[in-house]
Structure 1
Amino acid sequence: MAQPHRGAAVETGFLRAASDRVVWLEKRIAGAFVAAIFCLLIANVVTRMLSIPVIWIDELAVHFMIVGAFFGASIAIREREHIAVTLLRDALRGPGRTVLVVGVDLMVILFIGALAVILWRWFDPLGILAAESRAAYAAATFNFLYDEPTTTIGIRKVWFWLVLPVFCSTALLHASANLTGTLCAVREDA
């Protein structure tokens, strides 16, 4: 069985179509963040040249880079373009290769599932909703996620950290579509 790849003609229905639509949007969002980072860095150079540095530009560029990287990581999962050692996969043929590809897809899904559990516990949406206030929540749980401000921008970091549940959701969609595509290709070959 040939490994499914970007542009494979395997029809996997709703899951693949949803993944296609999401990755289309993610590419535009990631591109917008890259453009914003470029503009911020140019503004930083200009303001420093004029001896009026704007300190928060550096921090905003770093946060935008992190957010953009998570969108890029989700896209890479969909396209199967993450850095990988493919020596074993390239050496295998037929059923062995298929088992390896399915195993890798399952491991990615398990990793994203573990990340989802960690994020659920960290963001604790039920706990924050039940608390009287953010300060009361932080005092009771020692979870300062919702109160911790950025150093120079002055807004709460949670607004940038929200990319994590978004990444988790989109990466799970893409990994599931990849697994489904692999299994459908196996079924068609059988």
Structure 2
Amino acid sequence: MEILRKLSTGIARIEVLIGAALGAVTTALILLNVVTRSFAKALFWVDEAAITSMVWMTFLGASAAIHHRQSVAVTFVPDMLRGPVARALLIATDLAVLVFFCVLFALAWNWFDPITLARHGFDTGAFSGATFNFIYSEVSTTLGVPKFWLWLIVPIFAFGASVHALNNLAQTAYGGPETGPLGSDREVA
């Protein structure tokens, strides 16, 4: 359980670090866009780059929030409960979050289908022809990069969030910090 906690903490630190860097990149891109438009020399790719940067930042931040138990939550019922009932509800919530992110990871794995891509020798044309999955063939509108690089945040997010959710479930079920869904220090045991 200690290894899982350290893994989750390490992933969350990386997510926060990269997310903060992407926040700075997003801000810089938006400022660049404002300046270039004011001189009637707009760079056509800046909007898509800023949006992509913001999306990646948001996904990474959401995953880190799960690690810290700071995700948006409705706590009306949990705040009224105490003792074993509160603990059971928190375990059920942690389990539901874990199942959701495991399913999301499985769907993203199926979407990217790296095994079949490898079987086709990483030939994206052969992969698309055999599977009718064009994820590796689509190119972004203005950046001109394959869209799968932009969409790669989905499996990264699902993996990180799954690790955090598993850690939260383990901490709740087997000991460790007994915190509520919003990271409060209320007693549940």
Shared fold (TM-score greater than 0.5)? Answer: yes
1:66 matched residue in structure 2: 55
2:136 corresponds to: 146
Match of 2:164 in 1: 174
Pairing partner for 2:148 from 151, 158, 161: 158
**1:92 alignment partner AA:** L
Q: Which moved more, 1:51-60 or 1:73-82?
A: 73-82
Q: Distance in 2 between matches of 1:125 and 1:21?
A: 26
- The residue aligned with 2:185 is none
Query: Aligned match of 1:93 in 82, 104, 109?
Result: 82
TM-score under structure 2 normalisation? 0.89
| Superposition RMSD in Å | 1.7
Percent of aligned positions with the same letter in both sequences? 39
Alignment equivalent of 2:25, drawn from 13, 18, 36 = 36
Q: What's the CA shift for 1:39?
A: 0.2
Aligned equivalent of 1:117:
106
For 1:23, the equivalent position in structure 2 comes to 12
What residue is the counterpart of 2:174 in the other structure?
184
The equivalent residue for 1:8 is none
Please state how far the C-alpha of 1:60 moved relative to its aligned partner: 0.6
Which range moves more in the overlay, 112-121 or 131-140? 131-140
Deviation for aligned residue 1:71 = 0.2
**How many residues in Structure 1 have an aligned counterpart in Structure 2?**
178
TM superposition shift of 1:78: 0.6
- Deviation, 1:183, is 1.8
Picking from 11, 34, 58, the partner of 1:45 is 34
| AA aligned opposite 1:141 | T
- Give the distance between the partners of 1:18 and 1:135, measured in 2 at CA: 37
- The secondary structure found in structure 1 opposite 2:29 is helix
Per-residue CA distance 1:49-100 (angstroms, 9 max, x = gap): 1110001000011111111111011011111111111111001110010000
Code of the residue aligned with 1:71 in structure 2: it is L
For residues 147-188 of structure 1, the C-alpha deviation after alignment (integer angstroms, 9 at most, x for no partner) is: 1100011011111111122111111111111111112338x9
AA partner of residue 138 (structure 1): S
- Distance in 2 of aligned mates of 1:76 and 1:110: 17
**Take 1:122 and 1:24, find their aligned partners in 2: how far apart are those partners?**
27
- Structure 2: stretches of 5+ with no match in the other structure: 179-187
Shift of 1:141: 1.6
Deviant stretches of 4+, over 6 Å: none
Residue number among 40, 46, 50 corresponding to 1:57 in the alignment: 46
